[in-house]
Structure 1
């Protein structure tokens, strides 16, 4: 199913790399600061045809600030990369939900991802709320998996079966939580984005529930159209799949 999602993300709806413009109503004015970064380079990227494409870059020399104005026709997930040179640190990327208007990103060189604060995007604000909810279920699932490994090591079949059942219920709760969050925020583009990235393999009825709850504006937006196409593809595959 992951391959299906990747394939769908290559449809013509995917935008080409943005150029700097200042059109009223569909431009993003992005400013930011990486505290502690005195010299280096930042890259602003998005995913096009399943690959990261650079849409702007910033050379930092003494001043930790950066600024860009980009044409952006719809809310979309963007990524800010920090070139750490020869450092082996993996803390070099942060993602944020970009949308037209004025946005600000502040973070630090020492904790590039953990200290990120993004303002000016309602979709990003909602996505951060969603991630907090999701993390609670993820922590419980990781704990259950750890205990399952212990049960396997101890060859405790009864305990293992109980933990497997617990883990399956946790996954279902996480999926239902995602559906509920998307439905409750159906007037924002974050709703179809969550459906496409986090619960794309859920029962098709849940994806239908999200899609039908979207406002007309979001339904015809970038991620809204991708969700419609993805659901149609899933239904076609399920109809043509051989009976078990």
Structure 2
């Protein structure tokens, strides 16, 4: 009888362990070199607000670990509360997906120095950002030139720069559209449509929405894009 009870309790414990393991599908690890003390918050956007999924107290060890459950690949944020400064360099965005993801960075260049591995969606997003940064830098140069032209009351130069700026914006939007379509089997596709080109002509958003694979269409951002496109069409 005693052996039967022990066996039953053992089965309950094993069953409980299996249940706990099944509730998480994202294993997040990382290192923040140089960090002695601080608090990490893993956050997501919900209802236009940041919601903390986990809180990690850092005390003497620069390594961290978290096990999370995400229903669908989505953009998460690793916020560092340094406790001693209000530095703006404190929030790493990463495109999370089920599996093992690792974030390596350092205290001095927390965002810029971050290296994120283990997420195919994040790799695609980094590929996308490398190009869009060029459009951003070009726009900043144009703004600087427009300021100089305005200061010198050079209307001809201003008109020319405005045309160049409009063209740069169009090229950026078309690039984002093509990137989203060409990567229709990744959840980053509808995310780009919703975050970067939500105000583009509806026909482009409609094309992105219709190009999504069934898996992506059922994802968080896939559903949001479908709802957004339907809402715009209904309003017309």
Name the structure 2 match of 1:14: none
Secondary structure in structure 1 of the residue aligned to 2:191: helix
Question: Could you tell me how far 1:22 is from its partner in structure 2?
Answer: 2.5
Q: List alignment gaps of at least 5 residues for structure 1.
A: 1-19, 240-244
CA distance in 1, matches of 2:232, 2:152: 41
Residue number in structure 2 paired with 1:15: none
- Residue 189 of structure 1 deviates from its aligned partner by 0.1
Instruction: Say whether the 8 Å CA contact 1:22–1:69 is kept in structure 2.
Output: no
Higher relative contact order (CA 8 A, sep 6+): 1
Using the TM superposition, give the Cα deviation of residue 89 of structure 1 relative to its aligned residue in structure 2, in angstroms: 1.4
1:236 Cα shift?
2.1
Shift in alpha-carbon separation, 1:101–1:32, aligned structure 2, 3 A = same
Which structure shows the bigger proportion of residues in helix conformation?
2
Classify the secondary structure of the residue corresponding to 1:79: strand
CA contact 1:98–1:124 (8 Å) conserved in 2: yes
The 1-side partners of 2:76 and 2:28 are apart by 12
In 2, are the aligned partners of 1:21 and 1:27 still within 8 Å (CA)? Answer: no
CA displacement 1:110-163 (0-9 Å, x = unmatched) = 110010011100000100111111000111111111111111111111111011
Could you tell me which of 76, 79, 86 is aligned with 1:78?
76
CA RMSD of aligned residues (A): 1.3
Judged with a 3 Å threshold, the aligned counterparts in structure 2 of structure 1 residues 21 and 177 are, in CA distance, closer, same or farther, namely farther
C-alpha distance after superposition, 1:160-193 (max 9, x if no partner): 1011001000000000000111111000000000
Query: Greater CA deviation, 170-179 or 84-93?
Result: 84-93
Tell me which residue corresponds to 1:23: 22
Write the deviation string for residues 35-89 of structure 1: whole angstroms up to 9, x where unpaired. Answer: 1101111111111111111110111111111111111121010000111113131
In the TM superposition, residue 21 of structure 1 has moved relative to its aligned partner by 4.9
Native 8 Å contact 2:43 2:53 kept in 1: yes
Structure 2 CA distance for aligned equivalents of residues 91 and 129 of structure 1 = 22
C-alpha distance in structure 2 between counterparts of 1:85 and 1:61, whole Å: 12
- What is the TM-score normalised by the length of structure 1? 0.87
Mapping for residues 12-91 of structure 1, pairs under 5 Å:
21-23=20-22, 27-91=25-89
Question: Residue 184 of structure 1 corresponds to which residue in structure 2?
Answer: 182
Question: 1:140-179 to 2 correspondence within 5 Å?
Answer: 140-179=138-177
Query: The residue matched to 2:22 in structure 1 has which SS?
Result: coil
What's 1:129 paired with? 127
SS at match of 1:187: coil
Structure 2 CA distance, aligned partners of 1:51 and 1:88?
A: 20
What is the distance in 1 between the residues matched to 2:192 and 2:46? 18
**In 2, Cα distance between equivalents of 1:119 and 1:68:** 15
**Cα distance, 1:23 vs. partner?**
1.7
Runs of 5+ in structure 2 lacking a partner? 1-18
In structure 2, the residue matched to 1:11 is none
Aligned counterpart in structure 1 of residue 227 of structure 2, from 210, 222, 229:
229
Q: Deviations over 1:193-231 (max 9, x none)?
A: 000000000011110111111111101211001001111
